[in-house]
Structure 1
């Protein structure tokens, strides 16, 4: 959480300063803030690494919008194993990935309008919709000894590497992210999002925007991410998304 607030200060404050500088200029006619627009974005959040996911947003003239997020949720207690094999690492005790697909509908309100000479506009947003959680096994590469005494290397779910399914096994590193999708299961849920959008118009009706806010996800059943931890049904996330888009 401290990392998120530090990132929030670094990224949001410059947008506010730009908006303040513009506000000191002579007042001109305001642009049409209710124009429709679309945008694509990249996300970082408190439950992920630097790259947390991707977003697509479509805003309508009546100030409603639809949005689609695809993100990865990590447990805040995750850490890389201090023991590496040939320089390869893995997440200690990680049993599953939790991938989230969030279609949502929302409304936005203008808190600071943008004048015709440019500057920054500020919108408040509230959205909700289903969360389609994908619980996918986390795979690791292991080296084990078979009944004939032969050393074999393979990729297995972390759960099998921990339950002595493979005798005399050693985890040699993280497996492929794409392994295990055939074993993934859906965990439906619902989410609520509150956000602020700092929007900066550029040339030819293109725009750059920064959206920052909080999301709460509630799943229909507890999701287990780490070994020997209590599975949770509720996850909260602070996030920042950078959008590039076009107004109509």
Structure 2
């Protein structure tokens, strides 16, 4: 986390300087387009293989300055999550996991051109800063637990009884009977929101061979905070607030495509 913070503060400092008000002559320039719409996939240090997705709408103010709004949806995982396989059933589950977290992040911000590409080719570099609320949607993590009655030799003496339940390290202490993880949205009826806030700073490297189409990558730093810890995992004998965090930092990369008008 310390590395993420150092990287983030340095990036934000650079971006704040680059987003300073443009010179008077730049303010009078007319951009070649007025609006831009992009969407893409996100990779980040708090997510899985693919962190999530985003859409962004940008409105050009001058040749070098723009404002934007965006919506990002990503999965946030606990850094101590550990996948465990049941040696008897082959089922896989995450030890101690209580909730899956999907975070909705609406953002507004400003963007400035740092290096402009040639009209029909090359790479353009933009700097942006943004902020907004974060809504963590906590989805209970379900497992299949085997309640089948067995004799002293572990042989079933009743009809098979395997139930889908929210995983509880206190209730489901015998790992051998954790049959497998249940489908992702098994606990959708118990979805709980938790509201926080975030701030981001990033650089975009944009390639556009045609004036009305864009493709690029955005790389940056995000800091997120909540009023209380976000409950992701639990463990016997350890308070929840010692295992779970209120503050999250991440470095991210978003690959996007879009269009201009």
- Contact 2:120 2:209 (C-alpha < 8 Å) held by counterparts: no
CA distance in 2, matches of 1:80, 1:232: 20
1:137-152 alignment to 2 at 5 Å? 137-145=140-148, 149-152=158-161
Residue 83 (structure 2) pairs with residue 80 (structure 1): yes
- Post-superposition Cα deviations, 1:76-130, rounded to whole Å, max 9, x if no partner, equal 1112114345433111111111110001100011111111131100011100000
CA distance in 2, matches of 1:168, 1:49: 24
The one of 186, 204, 222 equivalent to 1:215 is: 222
Residue 126 (structure 2) pairs with residue 113 (structure 1): no
1:100-179 alignment to 2 at 5 Å? 100-145=103-148, 149-159=158-168, 162-164=169-171, 170-179=177-186
CA distance in 2, matches of 1:102, 1:168: 36
Residue 190 (structure 2) pairs with residue 199 (structure 1): no
Q: Secondary structure at the match of 1:182?
A: helix
What's the CA shift for 1:61?
1.1
Q: Secondary structure at the match of 1:81?
A: strand
Query: Residues 171 and 120 from structure 1, CA distance in 2 versus in 1: closer, same or farther, beyond 3 angstroms?
Result: same
CA distance in 2, matches of 1:207, 1:86: 48
CA distance in 2, matches of 1:199, 1:182: 41
Structure 2: stretches of 5+ with no match in the other structure: 5-29, 151-156, 236-241
- Contact 1:43 1:242 (C-alpha < 8 Å) held by counterparts: yes
The one of 70, 73, 87 equivalent to 1:70 is: 73
What's the CA shift for 1:33?
6.7
- Post-superposition Cα deviations, 1:1-47, rounded to whole Å, max 9, x if no partner, equal 9xx9xxxxxxxxxxxxxxxxxxxxxxxxxx94764200111111111
Paired residue for 1:11? none
- Contact 1:144 1:166 (C-alpha < 8 Å) held by counterparts: no
Structure 1: stretches of 5+ with no match in the other structure: 5-30
What's the CA shift for 1:66?
0.2
- Contact 2:120 2:208 (C-alpha < 8 Å) held by counterparts: no
CA distance in 1, matches of 2:67, 2:111: 6
What's the CA shift for 1:231?
1.9
- Number of aligned positions between the proteins: 218
- Contact 2:86 2:179 (C-alpha < 8 Å) held by counterparts: no
- Post-superposition Cα deviations, 1:142-177, rounded to whole Å, max 9, x if no partner, equal 211369844311211112xx2237989711111111
Query: Residues 239 and 167 from structure 1, CA distance in 2 versus in 1: closer, same or farther, beyond 3 angstroms?
Result: closer
The one of 218, 236, 245 equivalent to 1:232 is: 245
> So what's the TM-score if we normalise by structure 2?
0.76
Paired residue for 1:185? 192
Larger Cα Rg: Structure 1 or Structure 2?
2
1:35-46 alignment to 2 at 5 Å? 35-46=34-45
Paired residue for 1:90? 93
